[in-house]
Structure 1
């Protein structure tokens, strides 16, 4: 039996239970891949696939997302928008805002956001990855569909990783029950995505900037195809692009990984 009981989840969702069509699986290749196949067959907006195990979980830029059933929560949400793809710039940042709000509603403290798609946890000034977001977009006759994949660590990962990682248990006095976590995140996602559909990322930018962990700090932009770029992080613009103040002026960055550059450190290393 999957760890998510749909009857318990429906009770947690309350009045919003009718907004979502949730399916809980023991295992699949990837919740996003599974949901994409269902979307191709006409699955409605609000469809959710949550899985205890993923054999091919995906992260950004082809990275693998590792998860353990008891220690993590991995799910994907299908949402549809009217209009062209260009209207959805900044969507991954908006999703980050929803996740942060949802976790904070459960009592989590120290939650922050990193451009463009990570939720971090402050551990005595050291940022550790708490959750990741992968948004995949496609257009069809009904408009634009977004498959929003989310992986959240409930407990600190036991395996050794190339970057600091944390669990929700470290952000809360007591780890919330997983149905409460999933319900809180889905409710915040519904509210935030509706707001995003009307106002774009510009309507959520202030909330994102408030939680942006590198705001006003020296960072380096790491790109596998280019040398690192150093500058002061000014946050994001209304389209979700990163604003980086460099020696050449303010640059608008549309893709890349941002890594904090501590005083006295050398260039290179892995993004946080």
Structure 2
């Protein structure tokens, strides 16, 4: 008997209908499975894919996270997608973009009824202390400016225990919400907030979003340590993010700007 492929859990036509007047800003494709939505969308960007190209996958077999970590996704348990956005101007103009995207996702979740969403510099979405999702932004220079492929992964349900080793305990929407938000409605709301935030970012950079990001930042005004390669690099009082997205750390030497690293709370 010939086997048939199960339909993708995202229907582009239904998603477009939920986006309403914003639908024309997105070109939507849904796949049952791919290696990585961001990798595939980067290839399409090189072939001239337009801004607003959106690739959603039920399953990623080699999804990419920050610092080369993997982000695997499975149907029912996660929502993973990548969005292509184009900007005029040099790369410096995109400083703080991953933080802006995190804020947009937090707003989209809050507008979908998810309480207590927090942000961790530079690209984690937190819920009750666990990692709900992550963001990876790939930037490339093109003749007329810059392009960004924004990869986003969210846990709808917790992954099976012992299936994967996590640097941070995972969190999932199912821990707080029953029933879960309908998948199309959740994605449409996140895309709506993403478009609004990216428009503001284009006009004023991260500076115009910084206050709202700080309000969501769970490490704001707390003692933290900055890890580099797993070792403690420095520690101090976290003052949040600068207008270009750099982490501000109050240490014995003064206020230091940190451009990369993993922030974790100082142990007791």
The TM-score bracket by the shorter chain reads over 0.9
Q: How does 1:1-272 map to 2 (within 5 A)?
A: 1-122=7-128, 127-160=129-162, 161-162=165-166, 163-172=168-177, 174-224=179-229, 227-262=232-267, 264=268
| Mapped partners of 1:121, 1:147: distance in 2 | 25
Quote how far apart the aligned CAs of 1:170 are: 2.4
Which consecutive unaligned segments of at least 5 residues does structure 1 have?
Answer: 265-272
| Mapped partners of 1:168, 1:20: distance in 2 | 26
| Mapped partners of 2:218, 2:27: distance in 1 | 34
Q: Number of aligned pairs?
A: 259
DSSP-derived class of the 2:50 partner = coil
1:122-173 alpha-carbon deviations (Å, 9 max, x no partner): 2xxxx10001000000011121000000000011222433321111122435
| Mapped partners of 2:212, 2:9: distance in 1 | 32
CA RMSD of aligned residues (A): 1.2
Q: Is the 8 A contact 1:109 1:172 kept in 2?
A: no
1:230-263 alpha-carbon deviations (Å, 9 max, x no partner): 111000010000000111111100011101124x
* Corresponding residue of 1:267: none
Which consecutive unaligned segments of at least 5 residues does structure 2 have?
Answer: 1-6
Tell me the TM-score normalised to structure 1 length: 0.93
DSSP-derived class of the 1:174 partner = coil
| Mapped partners of 1:188, 1:253: distance in 2 | 28
Q: Is the 8 A contact 2:59 2:72 kept in 1?
A: no
| Mapped partners of 1:81, 1:171: distance in 2 | 37
Quote how far apart the aligned CAs of 1:54 are: 1.1
Q: Is the 8 A contact 2:225 2:232 kept in 1?
A: no
* Corresponding residue of 1:268: none
Quote how far apart the aligned CAs of 1:32 are: 0.3
Q: Is the 8 A contact 1:73 1:154 kept in 2?
A: yes
| Mapped partners of 1:259, 1:226: distance in 2 | 11
Q: Is the 8 A contact 1:75 1:150 kept in 2?
A: yes
DSSP-derived class of the 2:200 partner = helix
Quote how far apart the aligned CAs of 1:225 are: 7.8
| Mapped partners of 2:59, 2:108: distance in 1 | 23
Tell me the TM-score normalised to structure 2 length: 0.94
| Mapped partners of 1:207, 1:190: distance in 2 | 16
